[in-house]
Amino acid sequence: MSAKPDYTFKQSLGLQDNPIVTGLWQVADLERGGTELDRDHAATALLDYSNAGFHCFDMADHYGSAELIAGAAKAKLLNDNSDSETPLKLYTKWCPQPDQCQPEDVRRGIAERMERLGVECIDLLQLHWWTFEHPGYIDVMDSLMQLKQEGWIKHIGTTNFDTDHLQVLISCGFEVDSNQVCLSVLDRRALGNMTDLCLQHDIGLLAYGTLAGGFLTDQWLNQLEPNNITDWSKMKYHRFINATGGWASYQRVMQTLMSIAEKHAVSIANVAARWVIQQAAVAGVIVGARLTHTVHHDSNQQLLSLTLDADDMQRIEDASSNLTTIAGDCGSEYRKPPYLTASGDLSDHLESLPCAYSREAVPGRENRWRIATGSDYESICGFSRAIRDGNRIMVSGTTATHGLDRPIGISNPGAQTTYILDKIAASLAALGASLDDVIRTRIYLTDCNHWETVSRVHGRYFHNCLPANTLLEVSSLVGPYTVEIEAEAIVPDTSACF
Ligand SMILES: NC(=O)c1ccc[n+]([C@@H]2O[C@H](COP(=O)([O-])OP(=O)(O)OC[C@H]3O[C@@H](n4cnc5c(N)ncnc54)[C@H](OP(=O)(O)O)[C@@H]3O)[C@@H](O)[C@H]2O)c1
């Protein structure tokens, strides 16, 4: 097994002796008809997991009544014991709409989590952010840091942040302890750059999807592909199976898992989850539970004594490296088509995504629109953030400035580039275009030694449309920046009304 960092937060998050977290998204599925689970019955089922040694539970604001069930379980324990401490560690998530980023929005969102969980301090609060074209996540992180200082949150984590944006948070000095991402023998996106970044900065991965919603279990070995799946988790991971090469490829991986399971006299689920636990940056593995319906804590206990040897790991590596790699980085499945969600889109989560900028017609000019950032200088100097004239869009030289004057990622050219390209994408979106319409970029660097770091980020944004590019070294840029980028796009459909 690779040496793991000695994550200091593991002790206070209850992961030191048992890295398995019980996941409660399944509660939302069980309640999707509109009837909540019987609170007392479900709290007892949750405490059964705790009594079996699984004290950590993962929830979110949208997991049905999961937070309330966990709160009821905690209250039960407190009633039964005079101690004010319980072994329960309750992790939750806040997944705000992108325009809910003011301090009062964050305070309200977190206060609601605390009230539902019945806690005065949340063990782990994980932020999910729907679109990085909206920069409100920086403001939300500011507020979360403030709430941590005030004692409302013990640890801040993220969920579904990709490597580039986790790097942005790190470069801003935010204290992020964990990133919750999909990781399984079917989906190994988190094992590349994400793992390297996490190891470098002592961030632990909390892995979900480890059993692909139950598909990576004995129950599905040698089975025919189902055509009537109704549970959300399997609907979601069936898309992953299709995206990685289909049912036959998945069944070939299952054969390998089965043969390793037989060698150790454990289950396929145990092998699949153990493989994840043994990955270098993984601090915890989330295994979903359908509370009050099925119980797997006895089986999951076997994970604690199982170790996969180098040969097992290599065989799994070989089997899964034959699969098609899931496109993009961690969390792409929530941000770009094809959405690998239960519904195949974001309709369960969002009605629409707000634009970070709004456009205005340029007075006296037909077919010309502009967007502005709101800086006083724009009207004094006659600048625009971007201009669309007919089907042509020019985006001004863009630096990593948050709001009107806050530099982002100053000591990190890669983070600046990420932030800049999100601003360019948001500018294009406000003018009816996307990054895929860009035909030219021009990058200014104050130190040409950064060309590769910056260009690699550029490549992750533009790998589809491959714009013409110029890379220039300049003696300095206005402000503390080391990177500035401008872009030009052509919108193919000139008649498009936007
Ligand atoms: N951050 C995010 O975006 C995100 C997304 C998805 C999930 N999550 C988190 O991850 C958790 C896990 O959810 P998931 O959808 O990824 O599912 P999963 O953990 O891959 O699969 C869970 C299912 O596997 C089966 N199972 C569990 N232990 C087993 C064992 N030892 N042997 C055989 N079968 C076993 C159970 O199915 P049966 O009940 O049918 O037996 C269970 O419902 C969620 O509850 C949530 O906390 C987070």
pLDDT in tens, 214-261: 999 999 999 999 999 999 999 999 999 999 999 999 999 999 999 999
> What residues of the chain score a pLDDT lower than 50?
none
Q: Per-residue pLDDT tens for 332-342?
A: 999 988 899 99
Residue 330 · residue 190 · CB < 8 Å: yes
* CA 225 to ligand 1 center in whole angstroms: 19
Q: How far is the CA of 212 from the centre of ligand 1 (A)?
A: 7
Q: Which has the closest alpha carbon to 327: 243, 249, 434, 436?
A: 243
**Which residue, by CA, sits nearest to atom 41 of ligand 1?**
294
- Which CATH code of 3.30.470.20, 3.60.10.10, 3.30.420.10, 3.20.20.100 fits the domain covering 9-334? 3.20.20.100
Q: Specify the pTM.
A: 0.96
Give the per-residue pLDDT at 471: 97
Per CATH, the number for 359-490 is: 3.30.1330.40
CA nearest ligand 1 atom 13, residue? 288
| Burial of residue 271 (number of CB atoms within 10 Å: 0-12, 13-18, 19+) | buried
Q: What's the Rg (C-alpha) of the chain? A: 24
> Which SS3 state, helix, strand or coil, does residue 125 take?
strand
Location of each CATH 3.20.20.100 domain in the chain: 9-334
Q: Is the CB of 46 under 6 A from ligand 1?
A: no
Angle (nearest 5°) at CA 295 between 290 and 301 = 120
Choose the residue to mutate in 90, 233, 250, 270 for probing ligand 1, maximizing ligand atoms within 8 Å of C-beta.
233
Mutate to test the pocket of ligand 1, among 20, 24, 26 (most ligand atoms within 8 A of CB): 26
Residue 270 CA: nearest ligand 1 atom is: 31
Residues 6+ apart with CB under 8 A from 439: 465, 467, 468, 488, 489, 490
For atom 25 of ligand 1, the residue with the nearest CA is 214
Residues of the chain with CATH 3.30.1330.40: 359-490
> Rounded distance, CA 460 to CA 288, Å?
32
According to DSSP, the β-strands at 204-208 and 282-288 are parallel
Cβ 296 under 6 angstroms from ligand 1: yes
The vertex-121 CA angle with 181 and 151, nearest 5°, equals: 105
* pLDDT tens digit sequence for 413-431: 999 999 999 999 999 999 9
Question: Could you tell me if the CB of 211 is within 6 A of ligand 1?
Answer: yes
